[in-house]
Structure 1
Amino acid sequence: MNSSYVSTSTTTSALSSSSPLYLLPFDFLETILVNTIFNGIGYESWRKGMKLGLSCKNKLGLINGSVPKPQPTSPLFEPWNRCNDMVVAWILNSLDKEITETVMYTEFAEKFWKDIEQRFVQVSGLKIFQIRKDISSITQDNSNIASYFNRIKRLWNELCFSISYPECECGCKEAFQKLDEEQREHQFLSGLNDSYSTIRRNILLMKPLPDVDNVFHAHK
């Protein structure tokens, strides 16, 4: 048996496969959950990738505190320790060596995750500010409509990877996303050359506004 396989038949047989403390036969310490190793740049995109990977593994509870450490007398104590160690290993696998050396002695996945958040969230805020500034200044100028759309859409995508919406069941996330979509439409239209002023006016009079991809195709 592979030495990096930390689950045991006794542990897994006592847990439901839907439990966050259940380890699959192919859960290994060497598993890498993201495509790009985080080196201090692109924190939000790395964060989203890690959370997606951990969600697919049903292990988000180990980093957000919803699966707290059981008492030593609990039958879940050992399974929790195994899953905690596994999640810590997965996070370490996704970090650049220089960053790893500064955090590798943190024992608990939840604290590990919070330490990384505190360290890099301010850098992310500066990046978001710069992206928004770039978007506000971009215009069509001498480029064709397709080139202009590609430039501004690249910035939108970068911004999307750099921000997080609140997770709730009250509809706030959807409302924020709708407002962002309307803002993108206005940003795209405002950067167009004056030769598109008539089409721009007609689109702005539409209720509701079409999505930004349809706005682009209307100008092609």
Structure 2
Amino acid sequence: MADTLSNQTSCSSPNNLKGGNDQSHGTLKITSILLNHTNYLSWAKAARLFLSGRCKVGYITGRISPPPKNDSNYEVWESENDMVMAWLMNSMEPHISSLFLYKETAKEIWDTLKEMYSEQNNLTRVYQLQLDIANLTKDSKQTSLYLNKLRSLYDELAQYRPATADADIYQKRFEEDKIFKVLVGLGPDYESLRSQILMTTPLPNFNQVCQAIQREDTRRKVMNPTSKTELYEENHEKMACLARFKSSTRKTDSQNQNDESNFQRNRSRLKCTYCKKTGHRREKCWELVGKPVREKMSPSQADLVTKDDLEKFFQKFSKTNLVSSQPVGNSTEECDIPGSGNEEGDW
């Protein structure tokens, strides 16, 4: 094997943890940062530092390989391998650690995690970090907290994107930044497309991303998934307007009926003190003042209002600009024109 258990004893006290014993090794969290779907790089660095400080990093790199099962050192290797596995799993969120319950070695866990999260999730995390940096503002935070948060984001970004003089890597990052800028500008209704692009391996180039967005727009126009919603909203607004109109019409009709009813009711309360009849007052009693003389008109004249009648009416109210000299039909306005029968004394 690449290394032997005897060689690892060159580390000072590899099997002893400060402030603990062998029984507590399996319940120890090697880092306060629990592994989730977005923080693999920082978690892996913290976990590796912990294991390296206790001469156990060989269990995840494969440098300490298992001896034959009939070897006297096999039980020691198995015990320490299980301890490292427990450390790793205790430092993950529960829904992630449950995926590794049936792994046999710490190296299997480490390699699986690297395969699952290191490459593709790095791009997603880089995208999120750049978005957080762009949106971070001081607001009411203390200056020290604001600067520390900004420094922390840049430090983590540097872990994903260490400094390099390689022109190819620089060009690749430049292409990624252009893609990130396009994705940031898309609205929340493009979230599925944005996730699909970020999870594509390898990441498509800038032109391919632009084409994918244009295809999505074309698909939406063809499928028109929002037409039903827009039609519903338009019809809903029209129905609401119609309902308000009908309500207003019913209210107006009801008011007219109430006004007529009130007029008749109030008129029935009038009583002449001279003739003792109802429906009029003493000052309009025909027995005292006489019955009004009304000009007799032919049926055709009674039904029409001529230009002369209109001129008299408008002159009375200082109105001019008559439009037509032709006779007009009966007006619904209450005018002082012979033939009108709305006076109180018409009883």
Normalised to the residue count of structure 1, the TM-score between the two structures is: 0.56
Q: Which residue of 2 aligns with 1:102?
A: 99
Q: Does 1:44 align with 2:36?
A: no
The equivalent position to 1:163 in structure 2, one of 160, 163, 170, is 160
Q: For 1:82 and 1:52, how far apart are their aligned partners in 2? A: 21
Q: Are the equivalent residues in 2 in contact too, given 1:84–1:109 (CA < 8 A)?
A: yes
Distance 1:76 1:156, change over 3 A: same
Output one character per residue of 1:93-133: Cα deviation in whole Å (capped at 9) or x when no partner: 10111111111111111011111111111212321244357
String of CA shifts for 1:166-206, please: whole Å, max 9, x gaps. Answer: xxxxxxxxxx5899xxxxxxxxxxxxxxxxxxxxxxxxxxx
Give 1:43 shift: 1.4
Q: CA deviation at 1:77?
A: 1.5
Instruction: Report the AA paired with residue 34 of structure 1.
Output: T
**Can you list the C-alpha shifts for 1:41-62, whole angstroms capped at 9, x where unaligned?**
3111111111111111110000
- Cα distance, 1:177–1:20 mapped onto 2, change above 3 Å: farther
Alignment of 1:90-129 (within 5 A): 90-121=87-118, 122-129=120-127
Instruction: Name which one, 1 or 2, has greater alpha-carbon Rg.
Output: 2
Deviations 1:6-57 (A, max 9, x none): xxxxxx9x88743599522724111111012223231111111111111111
Which stretches of structure 1, 4 residues or more, deviate above 6 A after TM superposition?
146-149
For CA contacts below 8 A with separation 6 or more, give which structure has more relative contact order.
Answer: 1
Unmatched segments (≥5 aa) in structure 2: 138-142, 167-347
Q: Determine helix, strand or coil for the equivalent of 2:34.
A: coil
Give 1:94's aligned amino acid.
S
Q: Percent identity?
A: 27
Summarize deviations over 1:130-186 as a string: whole Å, max 9, x none.
435776x69x9xxxxx789667534312213x4387xxxxxxxxxx5899xxxxxxx
RMSD of Structure 2 on Structure 1 (CA)? 3.8
Residue 73 of structure 1 deviates from its aligned partner by: 3.2
Residue correspondences, number: 153
Pair 1:76–1:43, CA change in 2 (3 A): same
Partner of 1:26: 21
- Matched-pair contact (CA < 8 Å) for 1:36–1:46: yes
